[in-house]
Amino acid sequence: MACDVYVAGMGMTPFRKSNQSIEALMAEAGKMAVQRAEHRPVESIYMGAMNVEEFVGEGNFAAFLAEYLGLSGVPSSRVETACSTGAAVFESAFYAVASGYMNNVLVIAGEKMSHLPKIKTARILAEVIDREERRYGATMPALAGMIAHRYQKEFGLSDKRFRRVLARIVEKNSTNGVLNPYARAKRIITQDMYEKGRFIATPLRLFDCSPNSDGAAAVVLTSEKTPIRVSGVGHATDTMALMHRASLTSFSSTRGSALRAYAMAQLNPTDIQFAEVHDAFSIFEIIGMEDLGFFEHGQGWRGVEDGDTDRGGRLPINPSGGLLARGHPAGASGLAQIVEIALMMLGEVDEKRRIPRTDVGLAQSAGALANNNVVTILERSDRRRVMTTGWVPEYKPVIQVGTPENIPETVDDTGILETYTTLYATPEGFSPPHTLALVGLEDGTMTLARYPKYLEKSQFTIGQKVLIRKRGDSVIFQTRNLIQTVKDQVKTLFKGKNLTFAGEKKRKRN
Amino acid sequence: MACDVYVAGMGMTPFRKSNQSIEALMAEAGKMAVQRAEHRPVESIYMGAMNVEEFVGEGNFAAFLAEYLGLSGVPSSRVETACSTGAAVFESAFYAVASGYMNNVLVIAGEKMSHLPKIKTARILAEVIDREERRYGATMPALAGMIAHRYQKEFGLSDKRFRRVLARIVEKNSTNGVLNPYARAKRIITQDMYEKGRFIATPLRLFDCSPNSDGAAAVVLTSEKTPIRVSGVGHATDTMALMHRASLTSFSSTRGSALRAYAMAQLNPTDIQFAEVHDAFSIFEIIGMEDLGFFEHGQGWRGVEDGDTDRGGRLPINPSGGLLARGHPAGASGLAQIVEIALMMLGEVDEKRRIPRTDVGLAQSAGALANNNVVTILERSDRRRVMTTGWVPEYKPVIQVGTPENIPETVDDTGILETYTTLYATPEGFSPPHTLALVGLEDGTMTLARYPKYLEKSQFTIGQKVLIRKRGDSVIFQTRNLIQTVKDQVKTLFKGKNLTFAGEKKRKRN
């Protein structure tokens, strides 16, 4: 019933720190896309930027951009889903064309964020994080760090091996990125360089995190047949807070959006020949590949180790360099992935960048901490489908959606350290090192907890018992061992005195 | 080819200053809509708020709202087009259902803005205005004031008559509003009360301006037949700056969106039985009715005078009370209009509020200063179409789109006063009275100009010759008469001295 939707043209600016305005960047990408689309008359504009109000102080940007493009009069809507904005704009435009009411729609997504002081950018970016997590000083790297620690533990990887896997992703993506004229990466990050990178949020280091950038991407969608068909789009949300999730090493928003996209395309993960996966952090590439059904849960890292995901491998992942090497202008990245896939499909990339098979490509974009994700599947229109009817879905993930529940009002109990991170790049009002953990409670829920500054640095082990306490509005955690250590130290210090410790027996005050 | 799209349910909160959070307001409206839609399973959420980042300090609101609604997992996209956001969200959701890919989509729009200090709200709202206009201290009321002055002049209305017409709109809408439980209006604004209202931006007074409010509205769209069909949607943009428009008394964005909506619905203006028109300012109701084809250009005010647009009239306009009486939570108003039409169509309003014919209703929403407008047409599904094929469009407006051109680099010339306003409620950095004008230049373009504070208060007449000068980054204007008056005054003061005035001969400095 729905009309087929095709990609008629695409454009992109280089992603880097730019002196151009956001409108100039978006116009550059848009113009390129319209030119490649042979100047089909644009009937509607769908544009996206994550937070143009606070990054550049402008509202009403959809109308503004239409005028700036010289298309004043043409309908123009802004779509926003945090860091997956670029892919969500594409999705909304897709439905407009699929409805049959629109023949040619211009999709543009961009972001300008690197002109602001870092602390301000950090504050704006923090708005996409759950309020409670934000209050604890959690940042995107902090949450990604907790996920990484958990993944390492859950699948039994040694520190060294896990570090090597992450370094391998960084090396692969930077190797791909240096060949990509649109990417900001100018050098290959070797294992050595990776290891010399400072910690941002343990175990993640500098090169595990995609750099904030400026840039824009654009696509013209059309109802008229072109070499590239949009064969599937899917979209799903998840809880804002990590602590409300059923899994810390799988994103149900990726699984949900993939399920919908595969069903629409009538394709299975095994049909996908290459993919752009949202590697805002290196660990997300592994989790993304697993959630998309390319690898079993907990096996993605092996694919990296074995070279399966290299440019010449069985299933090239991020042959563009990904967000890690291309840079991550929040609202633009989701659409940039789609543009990269289209360019690769048309063979419009340098010979050195080519990959073996490019008939079916998938892009996966994540909004904030993977709570508003979008999956897009592009396919060569001339691709012969072996079986055009009777598609059997091979991808049936169990999509677990956490039930947000309030954390207990008062906590003065023990719990299990589910995961943790030590943040070395802290947001306003917090100072490094800032250790945060997710602590599992007896009732099956988790609470976020911070490790108090007044305690000495400690070693944490996922799965260990910890003591949690309510201090003002926050939950703090202490390791039993440390408490014992402190007690012992104090006892040594006051040798012979009769001491009572808090928690053993409460001292009376006032 | 496209699927028919129907309204399955709708909900709305009262619009007023609220202590509830924006998510609570949106959830209240959303829950109501889902309940009326008999709990059809929601496959996707389209939500809208104009500026949730700056009004409430939250990003990633689409995912947040999905979770807050207990629908975490369901796809959720935010759509934004400034003050027409509510209608644009509805439009995007409409295409998703029309495509055949979605059966039931929940549309929610809301805004929370009245908790902030007025000066901060004003600063945030100003972001939707053209940069150049903003720099001169222009506000939405200032621009609306200029439009009002121009309308009065263009169609030869005396001050008294024009004031009466505006007062009549305010009286009509407040009369409708007090009967509407969702509206914030609690009393009828009589002609007397209207005239006692202080000036906000001449000739507009307090009651000509819709009040900032908090509130939310929601609709469930479905592909399954219900009593109400969405028979047309249309959307169009216009230049940001008023000075770049071909007309100051007609909005091409309304004409463009109406043209598209009528064409999709295969209906003409004469088929419309009642309408909700974007009366952010009373004058916009007149212009809206004309641009929608209900009245000839320049004749809308007669419809008001004659009572045609009253609740019992030939074509009731804003039987809900409109934005003037309901209140204007920026992102919510566009969807609230649609909800009002649906409620009216289903007869789900108090008997006193009923209007004669409710088979075809139209909602027109304006983004910022009418540069991103959306028109929506709802129709009773059981309405017998007299002629189902061979529709002849009766509405063929000439849609003029201004060509933005740079104002001349240096101005030291004469021009024609095209329109003006004196602003009594000024934005940060400006003090009242602040007079702004649009001055027509010889090359056919217009420039914005301010009247310098150091000159005495003057009478302005549209069409008069004025002197314009570049002062720093701004253009200022002076009336020839005043200059002469000042010169005369000075000459009287310095009787017998030999004086040279600036502009006649330049004094040499340094």
B4 has a chain A CB within 8 A of its CB:
no
Helix (H) or strand (E) holding B416: strand B412-423
| Chains A & B: contacts with CB separation below 8 Å | 223
CA distance A373 to B411: 52
Query: Is the confidence at residue B285, as pLDDT, over 60?
Result: yes
CA distance A122 to A137: 11
Percent of chain A scoring above 70 in pLDDT? 90
Give the pLDDT score at B425.
87
Q: State the SS3 of B90-157.
A: HHHHHHHHHCCCCCEEEEEEEECCCCCCHHHHHHHHHCCCCHHHHHCCCCHHHHHHHHHHHHHHHCCC
Give the pLDDT score at B490.
64
In B, minimum Cα distance to A233 occurs at B101
Percent of chain B scoring above 90 in pLDDT? 75
CA distance A177 to B368: 41
Give the pLDDT score at B404.
41
- Ranges assigned E (strand) in B341-408: 360-365, 372-380
Query: Is the confidence at residue B60, as pLDDT, over 60?
Result: yes
Q: How much is the average pLDDT of A166-187? A: 97
Q: How far off is chain A from B403, nearest CA to CA, in Å?
A: 8
Please say whether the beta carbons of B54 and B337 come within 8 A.
no
Q: How far off is chain A from B385, nearest CA to CA, in Å?
A: 22
Query: Is the confidence at residue B487, as pLDDT, over 80?
Result: no
> Picking from A151-165, B259-273, B387-401, which range would have the lowest pLDDT averaged per residue?
B387-401
Interface of A with B in 374-403 (CB under 8 A): 399, 401-402
Please say whether the beta carbons of A239 and B67 come within 8 A.
yes
A2 has a chain B CB within 8 A of its CB:
yes
In B, minimum Cα distance to A57 occurs at B127
Give the pLDDT score at B407.
42
In B, minimum Cα distance to A252 occurs at B73
Judged by CB atoms closer than 8 Å, whether chains meet at A72 and B101 is answered as: no
Interface of A with B in 83-142 (CB under 8 A): 88, 91-92, 95-96, 98-102, 124, 127-129, 131
Nearest Cα residue to A230 out of A182, A271, A264: A264
Concerning whether A3 is annotated as a catalytic residue, the answer is no
Q: Which of A235, A244, A278, A328 is catalytic?
A: A328
Query: Is the confidence at residue A266, as pLDDT, over 80?
Result: yes
Structure tokens that stand for A414 in this block: 């023990």
CA distance A478 to B65: 34
Give the pLDDT score at A499.
57
DSSP, collapsed to helix, strand or coil, labels residue A483 as helix
Q: How far off is chain A from B322, nearest CA to CA, in Å?
A: 22
DSSP, collapsed to helix, strand or coil, labels residue A3 as coil
Distances (CA, A) of B179 to B186, B191, B193, B212: 9, 19, 19, 20
pLDDT classification of A341: cutoffs 50, 70, 90: very high
pLDDT classification of B406: cutoffs 50, 70, 90: very low
Judged by CB atoms closer than 8 Å, whether chains meet at A236 and B75 is answered as: yes
CA distance A199 to A144: 13
Query: Is the confidence at residue B388, as pLDDT, over 80?
Result: no
Judged by CB atoms closer than 8 Å, whether chains meet at B235 and A1 is answered as: no
Structure tokens that stand for B284 in this block: 């916009």
Helix (H) or strand (E) holding A193: helix A191-196
Give the pLDDT score at A362.
98
Give the pLDDT score at A414.
86
Give the pLDDT score at A467.
87
Give the pLDDT score at A379.
98
Distances (CA, A) of A459 to A164, A462, B220: 21, 10, 52
Judged by CB atoms closer than 8 Å, whether chains meet at B240 and A1 is answered as: no
Residue with tokens 């609220």: B18
Half-sphere exposure (CA, 13 Å, Cβ side) for B148? 31
Give the pLDDT score at A405.
43
Query: Beta strands A44-48 and A76-80: pairing type?
Result: parallel
Judged by CB atoms closer than 8 Å, whether chains meet at A81 and B98 is answered as: no
Residue with the bigger pLDDT between A192 and B441: it is A192
Q: How much is the average pLDDT of A165-189? A: 97
Query: Is the confidence at residue A200, as pLDDT, over 60?
Result: yes
Judged by CB atoms closer than 8 Å, whether chains meet at A401 and B72 is answered as: yes
Percent of chain A scoring above 90 in pLDDT? 75
Structure tokens that stand for A135 in this block: 């209050």
A484 has a chain B CB within 8 A of its CB:
no
Distances (CA, A) of A218 to A9, A105, A485, B400: 8, 11, 59, 28
Helix (H) or strand (E) holding B232: strand B228-237
Give the pLDDT score at A509.
42
Q: What is the CA radius of gyration of chain B?
A: 24
Q: How much is the average pLDDT of B295-305? A: 97
CA distance A246 to A333: 27
Judged by CB atoms closer than 8 Å, whether chains meet at A95 and B95 is answered as: yes
Give the pLDDT score at A445.
87
Name the residue among B51, B58, B404 with its Cβ closest to that of A67.
B404
Q: Is the dihedral of CA A99, A336, A232, A230 positive or negative?
A: positive
CA distance B280 to B169: 12
Query: Is the confidence at residue A487, as pLDDT, over 70?
Result: no
Residue with the bigger pLDDT between B398 and B110: it is B110
Give the pLDDT score at A403.
42
- Please, where are the H alpha helices in A12-155? 22-36, 52-56, 61-68, 85-98, 118-126, 131-135, 140-154
Please say whether the beta carbons of A245 and A448 come within 8 A.
no
Query: Is the confidence at residue B384, as pLDDT, over 90?
Result: no
A82 has a chain B CB within 8 A of its CB:
yes
Half-sphere exposure (CA, 13 Å, Cβ side) for B191? 8
Give the pLDDT score at B7.
98
Q: What is the DSSP string of B286-354?
A: HHHHHHTTSS-TTTHHHHHHTTTTSTTSSS-B-TT-HHHHH-B-TTTHHHHHHHHHHHHHTT-S-GGG-
Structure tokens that stand for A225 in this block: 């047949």
Judged by CB atoms closer than 8 Å, whether chains meet at B77 and A95 is answered as: no
Nearest Cα residue to B60 out of B52, B68, B71, B70: B52
Structure tokens that stand for B88 in this block: 């644009």
> Picking from A58-62, A345-349, A456-460, which range would have the lowest pLDDT averaged per residue?
A456-460
Please say whether the beta carbons of A91 and A338 come within 8 A.
no
Give the pLDDT score at A430.
87
Q: For the segment A355-400, what is each residue's pLDDT rounded down to a tens digit?
A: 999 999 999 999 999 999 999 999 999 998 876 667 888 887 766 5
Tell me the pLDDT of chain B averaged across its residues.
90
Q: State the SS3 of A293-308.
A: CCCCCCCHHHHHHCCC
The strand pairing partners of A111, in sequence order, are A215
CA distance B288 to B250: 8
Tell me the pLDDT of chain A averaged across its residues.
90
Q: For the segment B117-166, what is each residue's pLDDT rounded down to a tens digit?
A: 988 998 899 999 999 899 899 999 999 999 999 999 999 999 999 999 99
Query: Is the confidence at residue B245, as pLDDT, over 70?
Result: yes
B472 has a chain A CB within 8 A of its CB:
no
In B, minimum Cα distance to A261 occurs at B101
Name the residue among A63, A127, A399 with its Cβ closest to that of B237.
A63
Contacts of A367 in chain B (CB under 8 A): 60, 62-63
Name the residue among A60, A253, A399 with its Cβ closest to that of B368.
A60
Give the pLDDT score at B117.
92
Structure tokens that stand for A403 in this block: 């039930």
∠ Cα A191 A193 A196 (to 5°) = 110
Nearest Cα residue to B335 out of B32, B16, B100, B49: B49
Judged by CB atoms closer than 8 Å, whether chains meet at A99 and B102 is answered as: no
Give the pLDDT score at A498.
64
Concerning whether B328 is annotated as a catalytic residue, the answer is yes
Q: Is the dihedral of CA A36, A39, A40, A41 positive or negative?
A: positive
Residue B365 has phi, psi (to 5 degrees) of: -125, 140
B9 has a chain A CB within 8 A of its CB:
no
Judged by CB atoms closer than 8 Å, whether chains meet at A60 and B81 is answered as: yes
Query: Is the confidence at residue B482, as pLDDT, over 60?
Result: no
Query: Beta strands A274-277 and A360-365: pairing type?
Result: parallel
Query: Is the confidence at residue A162, as pLDDT, over 70?
Result: yes
B245 has a chain A CB within 8 A of its CB:
no
pLDDT classification of B409: cutoffs 50, 70, 90: very low
Distances (CA, A) of A95 to A6, A279, B49, B286, B417: 12, 27, 21, 35, 47
Structure tokens that stand for B486 in this block: 């000042």
Q: For the segment A112-153, what is each residue's pLDDT rounded down to a tens digit?
A: 999 999 889 988 999 999 998 998 999 999 999 999 999 999
Distances (CA, A) of A249 to A261, A293, A299, A465: 21, 14, 12, 21
Contacts of B73 in chain A (CB under 8 A): 236-238, 252-253, 256, 399, 401
Give the pLDDT score at A397.
76
The neighbour count for residue B21, using CB atoms within 10 Å, is 16
Query: Is the confidence at residue A500, as pLDDT, over 80?
Result: no
3-state helix, strand and coil shares in percent for chain A, rounded to the nearest 5: 35, 20, 45
Give the pLDDT score at A474.
86
Q: For the segment B66-123, what is each residue's pLDDT rounded down to a tens digit?
A: 999 999 999 999 999 999 999 999 999 999 999 999 999 999 999 999 999 988 998 8
> Picking from A153-157, B26-30, B392-396, which range would have the lowest pLDDT averaged per residue?
B392-396
Query: Is the confidence at residue B396, as pLDDT, over 80?
Result: no
Judged by CB atoms closer than 8 Å, whether chains meet at A95 and B92 is answered as: yes
Q: How much is the average pLDDT of A249-277? A: 96
Give the pLDDT score at A501.
52
Q: How far off is chain A from B121, nearest CA to CA, in Å?
A: 13
CA distance B68 to B46: 14
Give the pLDDT score at A503.
45
Judged by CB atoms closer than 8 Å, whether chains meet at B63 and A367 is answered as: yes
Name the residue among A72, A127, A239 with its Cβ closest to that of B57.
A127
- Residue type present at position A133: E
Contacts of B98 in chain A (CB under 8 A): 95, 99-101
A405 has a chain B CB within 8 A of its CB:
no
Please say whether the beta carbons of A166 and A125 come within 8 A.
no
Q: How much is the average pLDDT of B20-31? A: 97
CA distance A43 to A48: 17
Give the pLDDT score at A61.
97
Judged by CB atoms closer than 8 Å, whether chains meet at A73 and B237 is answered as: yes
Nearest Cα residue to B5 out of B228, B273, B265, B339: B228
CA distance A356 to A351: 11
Give the pLDDT score at B496.
62
